[in-house]
Amino acid sequence: MGELFAKGEYFLPDLVIGAKAMEEAMAVLESELRRRQETRRTYGKVVIGTVQGDIHEIGKNLVATLLSVNGFEVLNLGVDVPDETFIAKVKETGANVLGMSALLTTTMPAQGRVIQALEEAGIRDKVKVIIGGAPATQSWADEIGADGYSEDAVGAVALARQLLGVV
Amino acid sequence: MVVSARAISPIEHPKLHLEEVLSQDDVHRIHQASLEVIETVGVRFPSDRALDILEEAGATVDRQSQIARIPGQVVVEALAKAPPSYVLCARDPALDLSLDGEHSYLSTDGCGVEVIDLETGERRRSTKQDVAESARVADYLPQIAFYWPLVAAQDCPPETRSLHELEAAWNNTTKHVQTECVITAREAQAAIEMASAIVGGRQELRKRPILSIMQCTISPLGQDGGSLEAALVAAQAGIPVGFMTMASCCSTAPATLAGNLVVGNAEVIAVSALIELAYPYSMPPLRRPWTCTRGPIPAAGRRTTSLEQPPTNWPTFTGYHSPWAPLPPEQRSPIGKPPWIIPSLA
């Protein structure tokens, strides 16, 4: 479905419906895994959220869902996430990837502030930072020192895989 | 006040009629369902001031969830106070826009974040100077009736960016200016001061509001607190305010077209009722529900058109939005929206 979405053949509702079906299937599978005392192997832990002052979450949730159904363990912090919460959760979970979304040009600077805060906390090299949101661009990612940018959810999954060296 | 010999080129006597898209029964059912949703499910108003106004008018308010359930009759009576037609004023009165049902107007769209530099060809983040230059182009073109700051002034502080955009606009066009970037009471107060300084005071501004403000809803069935406060400040000063739903099929609204219409319509008329309850006879340029549909422009256009049929004769503000239209890269706009002009139907 992701490929068809990327090609413009599937639309957002198709993706939402597909992701919802996959989420429900994963719940059944994970329940069975627990019963067998087995755990799902994941490619890595992702902490994701919409930055402080911004309450837009559709795109961010799509990214979180697609990452989850593509083998990542995802902690979705929701919207209007304070800078310090991102830092605390990255430390607490040992996340491999931090994803930050911003829909407004006025809230985008928070993405840069959090990256700066990761530096100051001495953990910048422990986590790959990916950003997204309508006003975000590759040049903005470069400017604030993010490790990657994707313009859509399908690309975000590929980006996370690439950054973690998942073949 | 200088009146020029300039003129806007409107689309006169638009040929699209309501009955060509939806029957009167369809419209009635959508309107009734919208009122039912407002009354039984409610709409979230994250503003104590807004909740106070609604509660006083008869709404049942849950302060914890900030949801107001407003009786349908209260909504209908409040909306009846909105004028059926009015004029969007320009600094140059020759460029005033009559919203009388017989004219449609085009405007710039807003809030782009990147531009291709005219001089260097470089693709870069937008600045205040880009707002100024695009306003000047829009001012020249007779087909552009009013100006939305086309791109964001990203070289200005986020807290005052909307005001910088207005300054750049007013310094380069004498047409009506509308913004969707004033989203706090403080920004609204400052914008009103700026507009008052241009026209000669608050009373003059009330007579000839050269500014109008658009706000976005938080779909499904919610409003943004800052935007509500800004809208109330603007309405108090006689500035037209309007609201556009962010309802989108299968994500923030039901999958069905009818369900989509009802959710979007409920959001817009509930908050428009709030404005009329607070300041009766305010002039909201009501924006009807539209759906952000991923798809080719023609498909999105058809879908949008079908959503823009008002159940009454209120002025209507509408737009073609297809920001993710799968156009070849060379045809995509640098601001991510293929059409940089959107129609405003009156």
Closest residue to A11, CB basis, from B224, B295, B336: B295
How distant is the Cα of B335 from the closest Cα of chain A, in angstroms? 9
Distance from CA of residue A49 to its chain's centroid? 7
DSSP per residue, B25-88: HHHHHHHHHHHHHHHHT-EE---HHHHHHHHHTT-EEETTTTEEE--HHHHHHHHTTS-S-EEE
All residues of chain B having their beta carbon less than 8 Å from the beta carbon of residue A139 are 123-125
Average pLDDT in the B232-247 region?
91
Model pLDDT, residue B342 = 38
Model pLDDT, residue B290 = 40
- Write out pLDDT tens, residues B241-269: 988 888 887 778 887 888 988 999 999 99
Please write down the long-range contacts of A8-17, taking CB distance under 8 Å and 24 or more positions apart: A8/B326, A11/B293, A11/B294, A11/B295, A12/B248, A12/B249, A12/B250, A12/B251, A12/B293, A12/B294, A12/B324, A13/B249, A13/B250, A13/B251, A13/B255, A15/A62, A15/A153, A16/A62, A16/B250, A16/B251, A17/B250
Model pLDDT, residue A85 = 98
Closest residue to B251, CB basis, from A58, A137, A140: A58
Write the single-letter amino acid at A76.
N
All residues of chain B having their beta carbon less than 8 Å from the beta carbon of residue A105 are 111, 113, 152, 154, 158, 161
In whole angstroms, give the CA distance from residue A2 to residue A157: 10
DSSP per residue, B226-284: HHHHHHHHHHHTT--EEEE----BTTTB-SSHHHHHHHHHHHHHHHHHHHHHHSTT---
Cβ–Cβ pairs < 8 A, chains A and B: 46
DSSP per residue, B166-202: HHHHHTT--SEEEES---SHHHHHHHHHHHHHHHTSH
* Residue B186 touches partner A, C-beta closer than 8 Å: no
All residues of chain A having their beta carbon less than 8 Å from the beta carbon of residue B250 are 12-13, 16-17
Domain B11-342 has what CATH class? alpha beta
Buried b or exposed e, range A21-53, using 16+ CB within 10 angstroms:
ebeeeeeeeeeeeeeeeeeeeebbbbbbbbbbb
Inter-chain residue contact B249 with A137, CB threshold 8 Å: no
Residue whose C-alpha is closest to residue A57's, from B219, B15, B336: B219
- Check pLDDT > 80 for residue B335: no
In whole angstroms, give the CA distance from residue A86 to residue A81: 7
All residues of chain A having their beta carbon less than 8 Å from the beta carbon of residue B124 are 139
DSSP per residue, A70-113: TTEEEEE--SSB-HHHHHHHHHHHT-SEEEEE--STTTTHHHHH
Inter-chain residue contact B224 with A11, CB threshold 8 Å: no
In whole angstroms, give the CA distance from residue A39 to residue A41: 6
Closest residue to A17, CB basis, from B224, B250, B295: B250
Percent of chain B with pLDDT over 70: 79
Q: Which one-letter DSSP state was computed for residue A43?
A: S
Residues in A whose CB is inside 8 Å of some CB of B read 8, 11-13, 16-17, 55, 58, 105-107, 109, 134-135, 137, 139-140
- Write out pLDDT tens, residues B18-62: 667 788 888 889 889 999 999 999 999 999 999 999 999 999 999
- Check pLDDT > 60 for residue B156: yes
Average pLDDT in the B97-124 region?
86
All residues of chain A having their beta carbon less than 8 Å from the beta carbon of residue B158 are 105-107, 109
In whole angstroms, give the CA distance from residue A133 to residue A76: 16
* Residue B116 touches partner A, C-beta closer than 8 Å: no
Average pLDDT in the B324-344 region?
39
All residues of chain A having their beta carbon less than 8 Å from the beta carbon of residue B152 are 105, 135
* Residue B249 touches partner A, C-beta closer than 8 Å: yes
Name the residue with higher pLDDT: B8 or B248.
B8
Name the residue with tokens 């399908």: A154
Model pLDDT, residue A84 = 97
- Residue-range domain boundaries for chain B: 11-342
**How distant, in Å, are the alpha carbons of A133, B110, B142, B324 from that of B332?**
18, 16, 24, 9
ipTM surpasses 0.90: no
* Residue B257 touches partner A, C-beta closer than 8 Å: no
- Check pLDDT > 70 for residue A111: yes
pLDDT category of residue A69 using cuts at 50, 70 and 90: confident
